[in-house]
Structure 1
Amino acid sequence: MTQESSPPALHAEGLTRRYGSRLALADCDLRIPRGRVVGLVGPNGAGKSTLLQLACGLITPTAGTLRVLGDRPGADAAHLARVGFVAQDTPVYAALTVADHLRMGARLNPSWDPDLARRRVAQVGLPPAQRAGRLSGGQRAQLALTIAAAKRPELLILDEPAAALDPLARDGFLRNLMEFVDELGATAVLSSHLLGDVERVCDHLVVLAAGRVQLAGDVADLLARHRRLVAPRGALDRLGVTPVHVASADGYDHAVVRTADGPPPPEWTVEPVRLEELVLAYLGRATDGSAGAVERAEAHR
């Protein structure tokens, strides 16, 4: 079965999750195709970790449905083996050595690839006899990633694994992530606050804010469907253009708009939009409370 004919890596319909009276995710519809490296971005409290925990089967929805690789998350041991997860604090067991972690991974995972695990541990310079508690933050992250990847999963889920790493360690982590994705042919979902990291490695984007999907789709398509306009203040209203987000300075409006809104007057400045600018526009839109008609075309493809 090809990736095109396989069920999507993740498919949510009306997905909702509450923690008591707090609404973490609200009626989310999302479809992530296979074979992508997905950047999941949004502010603290947006629902990113909740979505990833739902996808791993660690928690269950309050309402709606979620399918991961065509099945209920964590449906059985076989399904759990198809998903690799690296949590935000890249958890490892401080008292166990690197070699202990690999032996434990082999016992717990029927599809464990010992050659991949040993090769990657050697490549990143992890001493097999070293206890995990004495590894640096970057080394612990590499160990956690190696354990997740040596399962040979179809889906890798990473919840801000590089957030606390220094730039050099983060660079090494991202390079190894991309090597794993390429070697395994896996889909990866990377939650991150660092838009530079997302821009570097991701070809699909999901923007979450206020518990809702604000934007989703392949990065190249999203950038092609938006542009930046610079126009005299108030001109956007007179033209009937509804920007995603607009900032005003020195008598001009600087707006991110959809290309579907039609061509602007020739005297206006039109420029391509950068990924960071696009993300911030949709986050600003959600913060302003004007995200009623969010961009969801790619979420339903």
Structure 2
Amino acid sequence: MVNIENLQFSYGRKYRPVFTDFSISLKPGCIYGLLGKNGTGKSTLLYIMCGLLQPQGGTVEVMGGNPRAHQPQIIGEIFLVPEEVELPAVCLRDYVKLNAPFYPRFSHEVLQQCLSDFELTDDLRLDQLSMGQRKKAFMSFALATQVRLILMDEPTNGLDIPSKSIFRKVVSSNMSEEQTIVISTHQVRDIDSLLDHIIIMDNSQVFLNASVAEITQQLAFEFRPMGSSVDDALYAQPSLQGVAVVVPNDGTKDTPINLELLFNAFMLKKDLLKHLRV
């Protein structure tokens, strides 16, 4: 789906390069979580993937083509949901009439189902919506396009707690095996149950690139009462309620991934990576 090799990118000579020798590949049928501290290049990478930014070196291929060439067969298969969504002063129904024809597989059925899940209607005025409502409307349109590559930058920012749960539902319910979704976020708790694959970036490089299955087969994520032994822990994170730990999985543990704990563990204890065979 996406193949990036030896990427080089900078916003100008006065700025530190964002990427100097960055490589990564993404396959179809996966929801990727793109994680990293501020300034590691997550948003920049999404904009390069969709062809809005031009790299200074390396190769970027999306579905076998260069997104910067603006070929209709490539651009028509990519949809970006930016962190800040600005929409025109029209009703959603008119917005769909104007923009849906650019996407050959656009599904009005998927759109209506997503809107219904978010408790929205297609007669709402886009310029009169709150930030959260704008995002829900735009994400509904994005999923209805049924393009092969959907890029989302901080999609849960501005959503209330019930809407975050609905977001996970509409994404998982409306994704096909031919699609790839990349979600860049700091709100890791909002998406940990949604992801198939985790990419952690550090210093503009890929620090971890592994499937959730690979991670949970080798690491277990547990919560223990305060005062419990953590001698076996690779990483421990105390709280008022107890202590969350990452421990080696000997094959007998079946715990869901805890993205916040995983991210903090790798950022604070980088040698944790040696325990993962990926």
Do Structure 1 and Structure 2 share a fold, with TM-score over 0.5?
A: yes
SS of match in other structure, 2:157: coil
Rate the CA distance shift 1:247–1:84 in 2: closer, same or farther, 3 A. Answer: closer
Partner of 2:119: 125
Partner of 1:211: 204
Residue type at the aligned position of 2:44: T
Matched, 1:81 2:73: no
Structure 1, unaligned runs of 5 or more:
1-8, 233-242, 249-253, 264-269
Check conservation: 2:192, 2:258, Cα contact below 8 A: no
Encode CA deviations 1:214-269: one digit per residue, 9 max, x unaligned. 1011012023234689549xxxxxxxxxx7x7899xxxxx996888xxx9xxxxxx
Q: Which of the numbers 65, 81, 86 marks the counterpart of 1:71?
A: 65
Check conservation: 2:50, 2:80, Cα contact below 8 A: yes
Rate the CA distance shift 1:52–1:297 in 2: closer, same or farther, 3 A. Answer: farther
Rate the CA distance shift 1:108–1:167 in 2: closer, same or farther, 3 A. Answer: same
| Higher alpha-carbon deviation: 155-164 or 110-119 | 110-119
Partner of 1:238: none
Q: Which of the numbers 235, 254, 261 marks the counterpart of 1:277?
A: 261
Rate the CA distance shift 1:295–1:64 in 2: closer, same or farther, 3 A. Answer: farther
How far did 1:185 drift? 4.6
2:59 and 2:197 map into 1 onto residues whose CA distance is: 22
Rate the CA distance shift 1:79–1:99 in 2: closer, same or farther, 3 A. Answer: same
Q: TM-score, normalization: structure 2?
A: 0.79
Partner of 1:102: 96
Rate the CA distance shift 1:115–1:224 in 2: closer, same or farther, 3 A. Answer: closer
Rate the CA distance shift 1:175–1:271 in 2: closer, same or farther, 3 A. Answer: closer
How far did 1:295 drift? 9.1
Rate the CA distance shift 1:258–1:149 in 2: closer, same or farther, 3 A. Answer: same
Partner of 1:6: none
2:193 and 2:154 map into 1 onto residues whose CA distance is: 15
How far did 1:49 drift? 0.1
Matched, 1:16 2:8: yes
How far did 1:105 drift? 1.5
Residue type at the aligned position of 1:148: A
Structure number with bigger Rg: 1
Check conservation: 2:154, 2:185, Cα contact below 8 A: yes
| Percent of matched pairs sharing the same residue | 26
How far did 1:296 drift? 9.6
Check conservation: 1:141, 1:173, Cα contact below 8 A: no
How far did 1:88 drift? 0.7
How far did 1:210 drift? 1.8
How far did 1:278 drift? 2.2
Matched, 1:193 2:186: yes
| Higher alpha-carbon deviation: 38-47 or 64-73 | 64-73
Rate the CA distance shift 1:212–1:119 in 2: closer, same or farther, 3 A. Answer: same
Q: TM-score, normalization: structure 1?
A: 0.74
How far did 1:174 drift? 2.2
Rate the CA distance shift 1:113–1:274 in 2: closer, same or farther, 3 A. Answer: closer
Count of matched residue positions in the alignment of Structure 1 and Structure 2: 260
Matched, 1:222 2:215: yes
Partner of 1:239: none
Encode CA deviations 1:7-50: one digit per residue, 9 max, x unaligned. xx222222221112222223222122211111111111111101
Residue type at the aligned position of 1:197: D
Partner of 1:142: 136
How far did 1:129 drift? 2.7
1:257 and 1:64 map into 2 onto residues whose CA distance is: 38
2:59 and 2:219 map into 1 onto residues whose CA distance is: 30
| Higher alpha-carbon deviation: 48-57 or 193-202 | 193-202
Residue type at the aligned position of 1:189: V
